[in-house]
Amino acid sequence: MVTNIGEVLVIGFFAIWSALCIVVYLPKINTFIRNIDYFALIPEWRFFAPNPGRHDFHLLYRDKFADGSLTEWTEIAPILHRRLLNMLYNPNRRRNKALFDCTQEFSKHVNVGDRALELAIPYLALLNYISCIPRSISPGFTQFLIMYSAGSLTEKDPEILYISKFHAL
Amino acid sequence: MMFLTNPQVAITVVEKFAALTLFISGLEYLTEPKQLMDDGLISWRIGSLRQSWLAGGPVGKALDRILSYPSVLGIIAVYTLLAGVILVGPPDLIIQPWIILPLVAALGVLFLRSNYGYDGADQLAWIIFTGLAPVSIIATPTTQTIFLWFVALQVSLAYGVAGIAKATAKGWWNGSYLIEILGTQIYGRATIATLMRRNPLLSTLHSCFVILWECSFLFILFLPYPVVLVFIAAGVVFHLLNAYVMGLNTFVWSFIAAYPALLFCVQTRGW
């Protein structure tokens, strides 16, 4: 039984929060809520549904020197080996998940033909990341490449999603 | 056998499992902090560009002091320490506002830092502790009960919505999506993917089970108590398998954290 104003406020708080957690699944309201949910308090639970990510994205980069010569493409691969201990403690998953989130978000920008792609956060994040990789020789420029493949069960070659311009380092 | 019918006891169990999620997560950040640096994928330098108020102005400047590297490690250390206190502390201590509110503040600013690297386990633990914040201030049986119903609703929605979404996709019903996910580098295991591909019936049955099990959570608050126990036991096995196969280690604890709330609601619902 509700006995004081504090309880009424708490009940109101949870009622509003619960309602938002339900209406977020309505397409017309979804965008509005997503735009103001800075603190990730309104979840959208999907768990690989309806269309799960069935591709691996591959991030590669290469450098250009002042004389125009190019390095080979180098892949920044996720850390793949998982041991039984990683069922409990898996510190590499943050890097892998961040790489996955970034490349997946980037692919959405590419797929919708974003004309301001080079100003998009995932573009800047990837460029910042590859630009800061330690090199033994200092090149003048770098560029990155995103490819996608259908995982370990296919013989098909990975396909190119996007090749960036060269950017000065 | 009935248990977890006392709201304070149920909240204590919810809180301890959610704290375990955060404790592991915090240790993972602190032992592998490279991605949080300015040259990492979860850098504040780039993450702050998402909103003009994050990148500049008084709020942006204040956040810059605590979210830039290495200051952010202090925030992570605070929430890891508080999560550790909750893990080992007595029930009366771990519901105190001076434990919960700093923890929520630390987690909240971290969510402002970047959109990358978080997962559903982080989000559910964050929601549980944010919900506990007002309950820690106004701690009555009524507010505690409302909080437990809220957590039960979250887990019901989480599985239920995911189940309905899967049920709309043919690739989930025939098991092909499962094989393809297991074939990816980030969430897969090549040996299990190969096993599933050689035995497509196994994949189909597994997929159908996941769809039906997840969908059932939309109605779980209306099901008989013994049936709920079976579904919850299946959930524990499901998350342990996901931890092994997909590397989703903290999902085990964050979703198990919600199960005591479900058990409390089902046992005390009065119908």
pLDDT digits 0-9 by tens, A2-60 = 568 999 999 999 999 999 999 999 999 999 999 999 999 999 998 888 888 888 889 99
Q: Which residues from B are below 8 Å from A106, CB to CB?
A: none
Answer whether B14's CB lies under 8 Å from B127's CB.
no
Q: Do the Cβ atoms of A153 and B28 come within 8 Å?
A: no
Which of A46, A53, A91 lies at the smallest CB-CB distance from B162? A46
Q: Do the Cβ atoms of B180 and A54 come within 8 Å?
A: yes
Which of B29, B127, B150 lies at the smallest CB-CB distance from A94? B29
Question: pLDDT at position B99, please?
Answer: 97
Which of A77, A88, A124 lies at the smallest CB-CB distance from B249? A88
Question: pLDDT at position A2, please?
Answer: 57
The distance of A100 to chain B (nearest Cα, Å) reads 8
Nearest CA in chain A to B47: A121
Provide mean pLDDT across the span A109-128: 94
Question: pLDDT at position B185, please?
Answer: 85
Buried b (16+ CB within 10 A) or exposed e, B105-131: ebbbbbbbbbbbbbbbbbbbbbbbbbb
**Each residue of A59-92: pLDDT tens digit?**
999 999 999 999 999 998 776 778 888 899 999 8
Which residues 6+ apart lie within 8 Å of B19 measured at CB? B83, B84, B86, B87, B94
**Each residue of A130-164: pLDDT tens digit?**
999 988 888 999 999 999 888 776 677 889 999 99
Which residues 6+ apart lie within 8 Å of B199 measured at CB? none
Q: Which residues of chain B have pLDDT under 50?
A: none
Predicted TM-score (pTM) of the model is 0.94
- What are residue A168's DSSP bridge partners? A141
Provide mean pLDDT across the span A126-132: 95
Answer whether A144's CB lies under 8 Å from A75's CB.
no
ipTM over 0.85: yes
Q: Does A18 touch chain B (CB under 8 A)?
A: yes
Question: pLDDT at position A3, please?
Answer: 67
Triad B79, B83, B85: Cα angle to 5° = 120
